[in-house]
């Protein structure tokens, strides 16, 4: 290994490490930037032509610190142009029910975001989840912001390379972006490495394609359900709430059985202009039965839109007519509302071969209620990728480095699962669900054939009377 004080000229450059990142949302964008910061030449593949999701996110201070590690000016501009404070705080509302006899109404102030700290410690998933949310943002604004930064980053890098003769050790690499493209992966059995057809060999490939990616199956990684399935509905209302986060628990009672069904919904409204409100929430069994019975597609669309108005009106403390008058659309610009499925997942491993790893939701996903997804990836997983990139760069023991990465990102994702599992099973005692879940996840680590949802059912049933459990 060469000395860190070694200088390279343009005629004698350092060995260029190469990395590919598949998936260009926040996970992929942050990963690409952190790898380039380490001196890797990065190819970023993104299947979408444009960033057009209406989702809004809350974020912790540690996300700003990660951006500051990439570039302090990047974090500063992020705070000025993308992130907004949450001046109205966070609100928790629950209707009267057998779970909450007197209902619940809590309002908490949210701390203001600070300038990023490039020297902040890298956080694990469990450590990150303990931090408070300090700002909110629109997903597509954040994605466009990082994408545009990469374009500028590349332009400045090329200009610098042509104007100097000395290249410092560890100089930033370039990032090439391939839009509307997913890499064609091939496996070299002799070296046990994955490569991309038509490209020179990569030292590291990161799959950051999201929870529903098929790529991990191609590389021999299995995804396992880790909770029961919830049916939800989501969309954006063209009416602001001026910087607030809301969780609302609605209760519906079956007139025949008297059974209560708990439906959780959430709202995030960043404090920028024009401001909209992003809403996602559970839908009832009765609604799903009604939707299944409806044969006419136009009537199905009406049912879905009307259900979204009900969910939105509860979260926004507004009338359904006002929601209709304000206007709303689905999770993607110009698209209508649709019903989606939410289920926790976990992969049996996060590494394949000697150079391919998973990151973000590709490793697994939990409930949105605890603010896990984007931040588990951009904060916890990206820090572990940073460490792995260092190990490859310095010629450290690759087997140990990959094992450390694998164990670390799975641990981060499991922390998200544990934090949010209670919201997949509202109505059951939280401590019973969480303690049972810890036991089942431990079993899964030792035996990947474990059916997590069924084992959880068995464990909780052993603690509760059978009639207290869900179907």
Domain boundaries, the chain: 12-87+131-226+345-421, 230-342, 428-468
- At residue 138, the pLDDT reads 93
How confident is residue 237, by pLDDT bands cut at 50, 70 and 90? Answer: very high
Q: Residues of the chain with pLDDT > 90: what percent?
A: 80
How confident is residue 162, by pLDDT bands cut at 50, 70 and 90? Answer: very low
- At residue 253, the pLDDT reads 87
- Would you state the CATH architecture of domain 12-87+131-226+345-421? 3-Layer(bba) Sandwich (3.50)
How confident is residue 233, by pLDDT bands cut at 50, 70 and 90? Answer: very high
Decide: 87 and 240 in contact? Cβ < 8 Å.
no
Mean pLDDT over 258-273 rounds to 91
DSSP tag of 251? E
Inform me whether the pLDDT recorded for 123 exceeds 70.
yes
Inform me whether the pLDDT recorded for 120 exceeds 50.
yes
Inform me whether the pLDDT recorded for 165 exceeds 60.
no
Mean pLDDT over 127-135 rounds to 97
How big, in percent rounded to 5, are the helix, strand and coil portions of the chain? 40, 25, 35
How does pLDDT run across 432-450, given as a tens digit for each residue? 999 999 999 999 999 999 9
Inform me whether the pLDDT recorded for 4 exceeds 50.
no
- At residue 373, the pLDDT reads 87
Question: In 271-372, at which residue ranges do the beta strands (DSSP E only) sit?
Answer: 277-282, 328-329, 339-342, 345-347, 351-352, 356-358, 364-365
- At residue 465, the pLDDT reads 63
Nearest-CA neighbor of 38 among 203, 209, 208, 207?
203
How does pLDDT run across 390-416, given as a tens digit for each residue? 999 999 999 999 999 999 999 999 999
């Amino acid at each position: 290994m060469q000395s860190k004080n070694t200088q390279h000229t343009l005629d004698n450059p350092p060995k260029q490490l190469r990395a590919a990142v598949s998936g260009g949302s926040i996970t992929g964008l942050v990963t690409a930037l952190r790898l380039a910061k380490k001196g890797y030449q990065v190819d970023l593949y993104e299947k979408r032509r444009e960033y057009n999701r209406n989702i809004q996110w809350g974020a912790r201070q540690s996300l700003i610190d990660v951006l500051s590690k990439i570039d302090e000016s990047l974090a500063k501009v992020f705070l000025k142009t993308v992130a907004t404070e949450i001046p109205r705080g966070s609100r928790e509302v629950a209707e009267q029910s057998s779970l909450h006899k007197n209902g619940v109404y809590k309002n908490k102030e949210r701390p203001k975001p600070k300038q990023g700290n490039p020297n902040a410690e890298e956080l694990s998933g469990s450590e990150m989840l303990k931090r408070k949310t300090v700002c909110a943002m629109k997903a597509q604004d954040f994605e466009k912001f990082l994408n545009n930064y990469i374009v500028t980053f590349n332009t400045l890098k090329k200009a610098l390379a042509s104007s100097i003769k000395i290249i410092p050790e560890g100089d930033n690499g370039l990032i090439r972006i391939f839009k509307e493209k997913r890499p064609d992966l091939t496996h070299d059995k002799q070296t046990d490495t994955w490569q991309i057809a038509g490209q020179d060999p990569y030292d590291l490939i990161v799959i950051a394609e999201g929870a529903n990616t098929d790529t991990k199956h191609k590389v021999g990684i299995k995804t396992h359900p880790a909770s029961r399935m919830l049916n939800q509905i989501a969309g954006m209302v063209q009416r602001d709430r001026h910087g607030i986060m809301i969780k609302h628990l609605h209760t519906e009672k079956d007139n025949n059985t008297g059974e209560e069904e708990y439906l959780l919904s959430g709202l995030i409204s960043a404090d920028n202009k024009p401001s909209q409100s992003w809403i996602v929430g559970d839908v009832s069994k009765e609604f799903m039965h009604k939707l299944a019975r409806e044969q006419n597609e136009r009537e199905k669309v009406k049912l879905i839109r009307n259900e979204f108005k009900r969910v939105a009106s509860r979260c926004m403390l507004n009338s359904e007519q006002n929601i209709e008058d304000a206007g709303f659309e689905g999770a993607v610009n110009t698209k209508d509302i649709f019903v989606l499925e939410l289920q926790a997942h976990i992969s049996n491993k996060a590494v394949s071969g000697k150079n391919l790893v998973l990151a973000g939701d590709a490793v697994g996903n939990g409930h949105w209620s605890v603010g896990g997804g984007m931040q588990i990836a951009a904060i916890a997983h990206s820090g572990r990728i940073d460490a792995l990139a260092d190990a490859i760069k310095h010629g450290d023991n690759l087997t140990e480095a990959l094992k450390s990465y694998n164990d670390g990102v799975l641990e981060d994702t499991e922390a998200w699962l544990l934090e949010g599992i209670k919201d997949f099973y509202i109505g059951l005692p939280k401590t019973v669900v969480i303690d049972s879940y810890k036991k089942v996840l431990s079993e899964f680590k030792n035996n990947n054939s474990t059916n997590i949802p069924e084992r959880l059912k068995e464990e909780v049933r052993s603690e509760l009377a059978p009639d207290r459990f869900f179907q």
